[in-house]
Structure 1
């Protein structure tokens, strides 16, 4: 009888230790619940399958360990604070993931912009032949700038590309500031970077 009383006190002491550890935040809720579950299972196995304990004692021990003690105000505040910390940590992780995604998008945009922005060589464009347009009685589609979709006016400067296509001088200059191909047939002019590299190579830089 004395031995059973000692065992019961030991089990009760362990239960109280779990409560203290939970209140002091030395163990999180998951660990405490796991320990309580194991302790309850151990008590049930020992008491209900042992001939050394009376039914009343078994029921008393079972109710003691099976019933979860009521949550105190301090415990509730602690759990709320712990949940808030976890929520803040999750928000930080989400913010980091969003920043990483945005960085990837911006870096991709920079790469795409670098690929698409390939201006023609200014030297080559300036050397292209130009003529002063004179309107005749018979007009055709070739007498229109396909960039601005306007007909050439008499006295206007018209630039002719090596492929034979003609454009309004100001329109094609603006076009070649960002592109190096003919707007119609995609004929390629030397790019600005290519000409610079060739000049640097010739000068031995």
Structure 2
């Protein structure tokens, strides 16, 4: 499964929320549906890193609650271990003093953990569907490797709509990669083509290995044989 993180920082929290952290975990299914998100209790940010590494009893409440939730959802033990370790690293990166984020002591931090199926099969399926639908109209050739390497890469920054914290939180995003049909990941790399359409870097590079046209508008990139 793919493990992804996102977060919100409230620089002017209510007094009870100051210097605290909560984590919401969402498990997505193969069909895009998801279970009801599980949100941990609020914990002082200083206590999040207070547990030891070897003793299970020393794990902070957030880690314990998330572990129970993922185990009850029948998530593989290896995935649970990876998710919890990556969570600690992610939160450390957001809250450390050298971070470029807007976090500072006293802020409220809400972290989102998403577990979703690997999208590799979706990418291959989307490529095959496009080939089937357009084989009579376009002669597909691999795009030039030199051109692919020269494409601009940029870091995607997700915009999250804030809602009342007492209500159910929901991430709002209308931008997605139309190859794998997944939302762009905050901090992930996207590639805009000259036609204006953007795609996940990994998805687009794989697409251009067999097709020199934009998956949406058929804008043509130079082919490999044209550059030789």
Q: Give TM-score, length-normalised by structure 1.
A: 0.38
Larger RCO, structure (CA 8 Å, separation 6 or more): 2
Larger Rg: 1
TM value normalised by structure 2: 0.34
| Structure showing the higher helix proportion among its residues | 1
